[in-house]
A = this chain, B = another copy of it.
Amino acid sequence: MTYERPPTPGYDLGMSSSPIRKEVDGALLAFVARQRPNLLAISDELAPLMAALDALLAEGKRLRPAFCYWGWRAAGAVEEDLDGPPGERLHEGIVNAAASLELLQASALIHDDVMDSSDTRRGQPSMHRRFEALHRAQGWPGPARAFGEGTAILLGDLCLAWSGEMFETCGLDEERRRRGRAVYDLMRTEVMCGQYLDMLEGTRGEAAVDTALRVVEFKSAKYTIERPLHLGAALAGGAPEVSAALTGYGVPLGIAFQLRDDVLGVFGDPAETGKPAGDDLREGKRTVLVALTLERATPAQAAALQRRLGDPGLDRPGVDELRQIITDTGGLAACEAMIARYTGDAERVLAAAPVPEEARAALNALAVAATARRT
């Protein structure tokens, strides 16, 4: 197994030659296939829900499952465990447990898009827009928007319930799951609270670097990287010093990952990100990138940025104007410097971490892929 930088940075996240990504895809497909007859037994009018979930789950970087799997390996679980002891299918179990994080993420994305009124997700219409469009196409008499949002809330709930179901029925024994559950529970609480703090700062119009970083820590760094690593390590029964090292690697890397996201949200190529150019600007996200820019802006630059940030009608020339400000002030350069610094911190901790060499190599490749990606 090699971990060369993949040809399309970010997409394969170092897993291009690994079977894990395909196995996670297969586990998700199998789980949803088991649910399908339950839903259709209730009513065949639920078919559009299944189709919408299929479309959403077909996409995605499988980032959290990858970190979960490599947390498992970092804690000492080896490929030889593939068959496991009698009655326990260890490899299948960790793949299912890791894949359940994609359902949790699907729930978060669907609900986030409702909260942010986002039109697109993974290059497709967001869930609430999809069902709003179905409503219009059917010519139903009630309000289309409320129907779209209501359906998205329910589908997000379904994905959240299913993520727990998939984790608990992953096939690993209760002792492993009991340890993993403690991480899973904490992670869910953290990401929901982090999301609230994010929304709170957005609505207050605050944009200080330190408060934005606190949101990044709970909403992104812990949720995307540290806790998936901890989950895998806990399922494997890893020692406390492994978890501590995974925190030292995962939290700074998670911050760097989110800062890359901030940059892509402003400067990303729509053909690669699947989102319109400058979408974060239109949504008015109070990112660390924005905070770094405002710290460095002249009063005129700050006023121009504050005026257009969150303007739903922001067009391409408007996006270009704000990009110029973010570049000219040095906000972009400061953000790139932070990404490099946090990534470096993560790599240094990883270099000294008490983990098997294969896991170290994989986590190094993931660090590059997570912070140098273009989507």
Residues of A within 8 A of B (CB): 35, 38-39, 42-43, 45-46, 49, 107, 111, 114-115, 117, 135, 140-143, 146-147, 149-151, 153-154, 156-158, 160-162, 164-165, 168-169, 174, 181, 185-186, 188-190, 192-197, 199-200, 202-205, 214, 218
Which of B42, B141, B162, B218 lies in contact with A190, CB distance below 8 A? Answer: B42
CB distance from A51 to the nearest CB of B (A): 13
CB distance from A335 to the nearest CB of B (A): 23
Q: Are B204 and A142 in contact (CB under 8 A)?
A: yes
For A117, list chain B residues within 8 Å (CB). 146
Smallest Cβ-Cβ distance to A38: which chain B residue: B189
CB distance from A281 to the nearest CB of B (A): 16
Decide yes or no: A35 and B192 within 8 Å by CB, A142-B205, A203-B140 being known contacts. no
How many copies of this chain? 2
Task: State the majority secondary structure of interface residues on A.
Answer: helix
**16 A–B contacts from the bound complex (CB under 8 Å):** A35-B189, A111-B153, A115-B146, A115-B150, A140-B205, A141-B205, A142-B203, A142-B204, A150-B199, A151-B196, A153-B156, A157-B157, A158-B188, A160-B160, A169-B185, A174-B174
For A143, list chain B residues within 8 Å (CB). 203
| Alpha-carbon separation in the docked complex, A143 to B157 (Å) | 24
Q: Are A107 and B200 in contact (CB under 8 A)?
A: no
Which of B45, B114, B153, B162 lies in contact with A200, CB distance below 8 A? Answer: B45
